[in-house]
Amino acid sequence: MAYDVVIVGSGFSAIAVTVNLLSLLPPGCSIAVVGDDPGFGRGTAYRTEFYLHRLNVPAGRMSLFPDIPDDFVEWLRRQGRTVSSDDFASRGDYGLYLRDTLAGLLRRREGRAKLEFVRAKATGCVEQYKVGTVFQLDNTADLIAGNVVLCLGIGNAQLPLSEEAIAAAARPLIIRNPWTLGWLSKVRPRDDVCILGSGLTMIDQVLALRAHGHRGRVHVLSRRGLVPHAHRPHGGPVAPLFPEHIREISVLLAALRRQARDAADWRSVMDGLRPKTQELWQQLTSEQRARFLRHGLPWWNIHRHRISPDVSKRFNALIEDGSVTTHAGFLQAIEEASAGAAIVYRRRGGDERASFDAAWIINCTGMERAGIAHSPLLQEMQQRGMIKADKLGLGISVDNTSRALNAAAETQPNIFAVGALTAGQFWEITAAPDIRVQARNIAESIACRF
């Protein structure tokens, strides 16, 4: 089968592109969405039904459409939710909003492009002259695409430890993907739990454990022991000022720290930075970007990617009563112990080793960088010279219109990428408010050809 547009992927990026194409493409055009996830559009993040798994962005900024900012808030109100634009809705509700929005567009059968969902995984592809990009699927079928939009997300990061350093008896106690259904039911109420990683995923899993009746101790181990800050009401964004013509990362960060320190609330400065982040990132050299990733990223994450006040209050209460303990250090080994496993780590700032026992080890080290290694399709596209990896491992190389670059660094006019795959070019491109703008721009670029 041949299609004018083939969207590869089934998460949020895919649904954002799909709804925009349905709105912009003329009747007679055809779209195929290729993915093997039954919860199309909801992905891992928005499939959860746990009410304490909240969005980390206020509802007023989560509309699927940049030009209809209140769309999500109005949907919530139609469902009987009493919310304001500043409230933090549940991620499950957001997943239902995505589903309903797409369903509403599909009910309008006249005057729109044809859409087909292909329940399969794209495993390979080739370019054919005058035909387009031909995808091979794991169900043995082939698809021909006039335009391609790569919406492949990122997987769960691997443990920061070699398999040789993990005792065989401890391996069944490791939950390598915390979003795998069912693991919570295995944890007994008084089991001690180790969580590796101290970011947003850790917060989600701690609260889920407590809601399921867990009352044992939770040890959180990460390299720096930093946890996300909370959103707080403030007087509005304040755009930070930077020295002109200087794009040295240490100078930029020093200016940002100074203005955050002098502000009534540092959050106003961080929020004011957001519209400038992509532009600043693109002005940095590869060396400056690498320095930021090595030294500044952990602090950026906890200040930039904040949690809702309600979630923060619940988590801080667990810290204060001793239910949750954070450790800063480097994981060295997971050994067998009478309680299940002994987690051995080197304390940050020295050579001293420490350990604690746990019945379960949960990998919450976050999402891996959106490289090529996790996707056989992207690996084959790279081998054929159709795409090239970003120098810093932040997805694939794209131009400022989100078109992929080939091995010769030439723009591929009919191959686009969305979301985390384009972090090397845009950096701030993993949250819904940024992806929806990118998706709209790509849909417009494709639609103008028809």
Q: Check residue 368 and give its pLDDT.
A: 58
SS3 345: strand
Which residue carries 């495993």 as its tokens? 123
The pLDDT confidence band at residue 149, using thresholds 50, 70 and 90, is very high
The residue ranking higher by pLDDT, 53 or 155, is: 53
DSSP β-ladder status, 193-196 and 174-175: unpaired
Q: Check residue 249 and give its pLDDT.
A: 92
Q: Check residue 166 and give its pLDDT.
A: 96
The pLDDT confidence band at residue 369, using thresholds 50, 70 and 90, is low
Give residue-wise pLDDT tens across range 82-134. Answer: 889 999 999 999 999 999 999 998 888 788 899 999 999 998 888 776 678 99
Q: Please give the model's pTM, rounded to 2 decimal places.
A: 0.90
SS3 248: coil
Q: Check residue 36 and give its pLDDT.
A: 82
The pLDDT confidence band at residue 41, using thresholds 50, 70 and 90, is low
Percentage above 90 pLDDT, the chain: 73
Q: What's the rounded Cα separation, in Å, for the pair 71 and 179?
A: 28
Cβ atoms within 10 Å of 323's Cβ, excluding its own: 17
- At a CB cut-off of 8 Å and minimum separation 6, what does 423 contact? 369, 370, 390, 394, 395, 429, 430
The pLDDT confidence band at residue 44, using thresholds 50, 70 and 90, is low
CB contact at 8 A, 425 and 397: yes
The predicted model gives 347-375 an average pLDDT of: 86
In this predicted structure, the answer to whether residue 30 has a pLDDT above a threshold of 70 is: yes
Give residue-wise pLDDT tens across range 178-237. Answer: 887 688 999 999 999 999 999 999 999 999 999 999 999 999 999 999 999 999 887 789
Q: Check residue 117 and give its pLDDT.
A: 92
What residues are paired with 127 via a beta bridge?
A: 133
The pLDDT confidence band at residue 141, using thresholds 50, 70 and 90, is confident
The pLDDT confidence band at residue 43, using thresholds 50, 70 and 90, is low
The pLDDT confidence band at residue 155, using thresholds 50, 70 and 90, is low
Q: Check residue 247 and give its pLDDT.
A: 83
Domain 163-229+307-363 is found in CATH 3.40.50.410? no
Q: Check residue 181 and give its pLDDT.
A: 65
Percentage above 70 pLDDT, the chain: 96
The pLDDT confidence band at residue 438, using thresholds 50, 70 and 90, is very high
**Which strands sit side by side in the sheet containing 353-358, from one edge to the other?**
174-175, 360-363, 193-196, 218-222, 324-337, 340-347, 353-358
Q: Which fold has domain 2-155+368-447?
A: FAD/NAD(P)-binding domain (3.50.50)
Q: Check residue 235 and give its pLDDT.
A: 74
Give residue-wise pLDDT tens across range 217-227. Answer: 999 999 999 99
Q: Check residue 129 and give its pLDDT.
A: 63
Same CATH fold, 163-229+307-363 and 2-155+368-447?
Answer: yes
Any idea of the CA torsion for 183, 184, 187, 192, to the nearest 10 degrees? 110
The pLDDT confidence band at residue 371, using thresholds 50, 70 and 90, is low
Dihedral-angle region of residue 322 (phi above 0 means left; psi in -120 to 50 means alpha; beta otherwise): left
CB contact at 8 A, 400 and 429: no
Q: Check residue 182 and give its pLDDT.
A: 83
List the chain domain ranges.
2-155+368-447, 163-229+307-363, 249-304
Q: Check residue 127 and give its pLDDT.
A: 78
User: What mean pLDDT is reported for the chain?
Assistant: 91
Question: Which token pair is 6?
Answer: 């083939």
The pLDDT confidence band at residue 17, using thresholds 50, 70 and 90, is very high
Q: Check residue 10 and give its pLDDT.
A: 87
Cβ atoms within 10 Å of 186's Cβ, excluding its own: 11
Q: Check residue 393 and give its pLDDT.
A: 87
DSSP β-ladder status, 411-417 and 403-405: antiparallel
Give residue-wise pLDDT tens across range 53-71. Answer: 889 899 999 999 989 999 9
Give residue-wise pLDDT tens across range 295-345. Answer: 999 999 999 999 999 999 999 999 999 999 999 999 999 999 998 999 999
